[in-house]
């Protein structure tokens, strides 16, 4: 029998999320589910790189500490849905099972979602990659993976089979919440209005502390208190299509009409057609009502048929990324920063086509907005050099240029240093028909 409502909390909003505050929410008794979104284009690229180094890796690096933190919640009947499987949900599921057994738990069912990996399909069709102007076969061994944004279908399948802890790879951010909501409330995944409501709830929670004021404060204009202990959000969704967003009582920040509106519109290209693997959600007629006491109700959400195509991230090995910096300060520091750039660019000329991208930014002057918001001469500036290099030998040589060569022209100005010299895997998007994917649910009992 379908539940009248479901209460679901946010467990993570990024790959390196802290776990103490979400554990507090899980243990509060206010939620029966926790959703964990731990992926973005960049973090999935990092997962590609880890899997290349070790085929048993590629899942979220913080999963090992998540398991003991939330195992008590699951043992008490709570349920978790997460995309912490990253590029390797199979190994992630195995890790959860083995760790739960090691901790002495038994009877817990772990659901593992498979099918987002579509590398063989992409290769077989020699798909064109518009952003980089080549096909996948032309990339040769630089092609390292291809993963589709998948929806809530396999999550619901896992839950219907009794799974307590569901882990997948590139489950779309809101789908980690859509699955539990639709499962508990008995909503069909082709009931577009209801799936739209579930998607809106997921979208409000997926960025975690955004909706509790985390990116809302502007000193002197609008401020919440208690930001040193910012609350994690949860939402209640009911059969009348109401979403009520709140946070753990006694925590900092706030859930207000303004924070909810800000998050509802966050990263939504078109509020009338927010495309996800589950639905084309429609937020344009949303009504947001502040109920007081950090409780905000959202109604008026609907949706239409889901897209026929799924977005796929194709991982490309670009070689190595070298990032270095040089600090300068005092009168005329901007001119001296430009001199550092000029010197380094001339030093880079000897490496020719081995360097296939170079970018300089002046942190404190134009690093975020280019020339759009430049101001008067700064008191200090940091030159940031970022390069993509094809092979390790050249990357090491360029790193030395960035880290040491400029020292002689910046002595006494705060120094220079190397930030990073690492493998660079970056994604590029394509779209494939959803009927080319076979999504499956595997259940393993601890």
Alpha-carbon dihedral angle through residues 36, 44, 61, 324, given to the nearest 10 degrees: -130
Cross-strand partners of 43: none
If one counts the domains in the chain, the total is 2
Q: Report yes or no: 130 and 429 within 8 Å, Cβ to Cβ.
A: no
For residue 96, the SS3 value is helix
Backbone phi and psi for residue 114, each to the nearest 5 degrees, phi listed first: -120, 155
Instruction: Please state, in angstroms and rounded to a whole number, the distance separating the CA atoms of residues 29 and 229.
Output: 19
Q: For all residues of the chain together, what is the average pLDDT?
A: 93
Backbone phi and psi for residue 340, each to the nearest 5 degrees, phi listed first: -60, -45
Inform me whether the pLDDT recorded for 411 exceeds 60: no
What local confidence, expressed as pLDDT, does residue 63 receive? 96
Across 35-49, 168-182, 328-342, which has the greatest mean pLDDT?
168-182
Inform me whether the pLDDT recorded for 409 exceeds 70: no
What local confidence, expressed as pLDDT, does residue 357 receive? 93
Same domain, residue pair 248 and 368: no
Domain range spanning residue 195? Answer: 5-115+150-307
pLDDT confidence band for 406 (50 / 70 / 90): low
Q: Mean per-residue pLDDT for 186-207? A: 98
Q: Report yes or no: 240 and 246 within 8 Å, Cβ to Cβ.
A: no
In DSSP notation, 23-53 reads: HHHHTTTS-SEEEE----HHHHHHHHHHHHH
Same domain, residue pair 63 and 102: yes
User: How, if at all, do strands 79-82 and 165-167 pair?
Assistant: parallel
What local confidence, expressed as pLDDT, does residue 217 receive? 84
Indicate the residue among 280, 307, 334 that finishes a domain. Answer: 307
Place of tokens 């220079």: 416
pLDDT confidence band for 222 (50 / 70 / 90): confident
Instruction: Give the model confidence (pLDDT) of 304-348 as tens digits.
Output: 999 999 999 999 999 999 999 888 888 888 998 899 899 899 999
Domain-embedded: residue 322: yes
- Give residue 115's Cα distance to chain centre: 19
What local confidence, expressed as pLDDT, does residue 327 receive? 86
| Residue with the larger pLDDT of the pair 227 and 101 | 101
Which residues lie below 8 Å from residue 74, measured CB to CB, with a gap of 6+?
80, 105, 108, 164, 165
Q: Which of 81-95, 280-294, 390-404 has the lowest mean pLDDT?
A: 390-404
Same domain, residue pair 303 and 325: no
Backbone phi and psi for residue 86, each to the nearest 5 degrees, phi listed first: 55, -125
If one counts every other C-beta atom within 10 angstroms of the C-beta of residue 123, the result is 15
Instruction: Please state, in angstroms and rounded to a whole number, the distance separating the CA atoms of residues 382 and 385.
Output: 10
Same domain, residue pair 303 and 415: no
Q: Mean per-residue pLDDT for 359-382? A: 87
Q: Which of 105-109, 181-185, 221-225 has the lowest mean pLDDT?
A: 221-225
Domain-embedded: residue 355: yes
H or E stretch covering 113: strand 109-114
Q: What percent of the chain has pLDDT over 70?
A: 97
pLDDT confidence band for 374 (50 / 70 / 90): confident
Instruction: Please state, in angstroms and rounded to a whole number, the distance separating the CA atoms of residues 56 and 322.
Output: 27
Q: Which of 155-159, 213-217, 434-438 has the lowest mean pLDDT?
A: 213-217
Instruction: Give the model confidence (pLDDT) of 123-166 as tens digits.
Output: 999 999 999 999 999 999 889 889 999 999 999 999 999 999 99
- Give residue 84's Cα distance to chain centre: 10
pLDDT confidence band for 52 (50 / 70 / 90): confident
Instruction: Please state, in angstroms and rounded to a whole number, the distance separating the CA atoms of residues 148 and 127.
Output: 14
pLDDT confidence band for 405 (50 / 70 / 90): low
Instruction: Give the model confidence (pLDDT) of 262-303 as tens digits.
Output: 999 999 999 999 999 999 999 999 999 999 999 999 999 999
Distances, alpha carbon 292 to alpha carbons 205, 231, 247, 254, in Å: 19, 16, 12, 10
Same domain, residue pair 225 and 349: no
Distances, alpha carbon 189 to alpha carbons 54, 115, 198, 269, in Å: 37, 18, 10, 23
Same domain, residue pair 223 and 266: yes
What local confidence, expressed as pLDDT, does residue 118 receive? 94
Q: Report yes or no: 378 and 333 within 8 Å, Cβ to Cβ.
A: yes
Q: Mean per-residue pLDDT for 51-71? A: 94
Q: Which of 50-54, 170-174, 417-421 has the lowest mean pLDDT?
A: 417-421
What's the angle, vertex CA 28, arms to CA 291 and CA 229, rounded to 5? 75
Q: Mean per-residue pLDDT for 252-261? A: 96
Instruction: Please state, in angstroms and rounded to a whole number, the distance separating the CA atoms of residues 1 and 99.
Output: 33
What local confidence, expressed as pLDDT, does residue 422 receive? 87
Same domain, residue pair 298 and 326: no
Domain-embedded: residue 129: no
Place of tokens 């998007």: 429
Q: Report yes or no: 118 and 312 within 8 Å, Cβ to Cβ.
A: yes
User: How, if at all, do strands 5-12 and 233-238 pair?
Assistant: antiparallel
Indicate the residue among 307, 326, 355 that finishes a domain. Answer: 307
Alpha helices for 333-391 (secondary structure H): 333-348
Distances, alpha carbon 407 to alpha carbons 52, 328, 379, in Å: 35, 11, 20
What's the CATH code of the domain at 413? Answer: 3.30.70.1130
Same domain, residue pair 169 and 229: yes
Domain-embedded: residue 370: yes
Q: What percent of the chain has pLDDT over 90?
A: 76
- Give residue 339's Cα distance to chain centre: 37
Q: Report yes or no: 398 and 348 within 8 Å, Cβ to Cβ.
A: yes
Same domain, residue pair 241 and 368: no
Domain-embedded: residue 131: no
Same domain, residue pair 218 and 109: yes
Alpha helices for 248-288 (secondary structure H): 257-264
What local confidence, expressed as pLDDT, does residue 1 receive? 82
Instruction: Please state, in angstroms and rounded to a whole number, the distance separating the CA atoms of residues 9 and 35.
Output: 6
Indicate the residue among 257, 277, 307 that finishes a domain. Answer: 307
Same domain, residue pair 295 and 331: no
Same domain, residue pair 172 and 268: yes
Q: Mean per-residue pLDDT for 217-246? A: 93
Inform me whether the pLDDT recorded for 3 exceeds 70: yes
């Amino acid at each position: 029998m379908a539940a009248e409502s479901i209460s679901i909390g946010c467990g993570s909003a990024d790959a390196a999320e802290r776990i103490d505050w979400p554990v507090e929410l899980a243990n509060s008794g206010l939620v029966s589910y926790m959703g964990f979104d731990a992926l973005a284009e960049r973090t999935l690229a990092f997962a590609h790189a880890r899997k290349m180094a070790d085929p048993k890796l590629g899942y979220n690096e913080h999963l090992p500490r998540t398991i003991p933190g939330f195992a008590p919640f699951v043992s008490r009947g709570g349920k978790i849905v997460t995309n912490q499987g990253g590029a390797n949900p199979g190994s992630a599921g195995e890790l959860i099972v083995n760790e739960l057994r090691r901790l002495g738990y038994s009877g817990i069912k772990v659901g593992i979602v498979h099918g987002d990996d579509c590398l063989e399909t992409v290769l077989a069709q020699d798909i064109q990659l518009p952003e980089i102007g080549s096909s996948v076969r032309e990339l040769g061994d630089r092609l390292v993976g291809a993963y589709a944004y998948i929806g809530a279908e396999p999550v619901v399948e896992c839950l219907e089979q009794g799974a307590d802890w569901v882990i997948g790879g590139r489950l779309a951010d809101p789908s980690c919440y859509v699955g539990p909501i639709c499962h508990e409330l008995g909503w069909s995944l082709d009931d577009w209005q209801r799936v739209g409501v579930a998607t809106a709830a997921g979208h409000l929670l997926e960025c975690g502390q955004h909706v509790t004021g985390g990116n809302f404060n502007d000193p002197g204009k609008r401020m919440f208190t208690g930001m040193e202990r910012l609350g994690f959000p949860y939402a209640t969704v009911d059969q009348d299509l109401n979403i009520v967003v709140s946070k753990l009582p006694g925590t900092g920040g706030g859930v207000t009409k303004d924070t909810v509106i800000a998050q509802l519109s966050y990263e939504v290209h078109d509020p009338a057609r927010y495309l996800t693997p589950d639905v084309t959600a429609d937020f344009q007629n949303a009504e947001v009502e502040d109920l007081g006491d950090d409780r905000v109700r959202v109604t008026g959400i609907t949706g239409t048929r889901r897209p026929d195509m799924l977005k796929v991230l194709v991982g490309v090995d670009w070689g190595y990324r070298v990032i270095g910096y040089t600090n300068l300060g005092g009168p005329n520091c901007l001119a001296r920063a430009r001199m550092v750039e000029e010197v380094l660019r001339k030093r880079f000329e000897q490496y020719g086509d081995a360097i296939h991208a170079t970018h300089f930014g002046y942190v404190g002057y134009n690093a975020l907005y280019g020339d759009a918001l430049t101001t008067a001469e700064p008191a200090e500036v940091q030159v940031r050099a970022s390069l993509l290099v094809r092979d390790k030998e050249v990357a090491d040589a360029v790193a030395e240029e960035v880290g040491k060569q400029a020292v002689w022209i910046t002595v006494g100005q705060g120094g220079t240093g190397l930030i990073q010299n690492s493998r660079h895997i970056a994604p590029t998007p394509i779209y494939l028909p959803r009927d080319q994917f076979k999504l499956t649910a595997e259940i393993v009992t601890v």
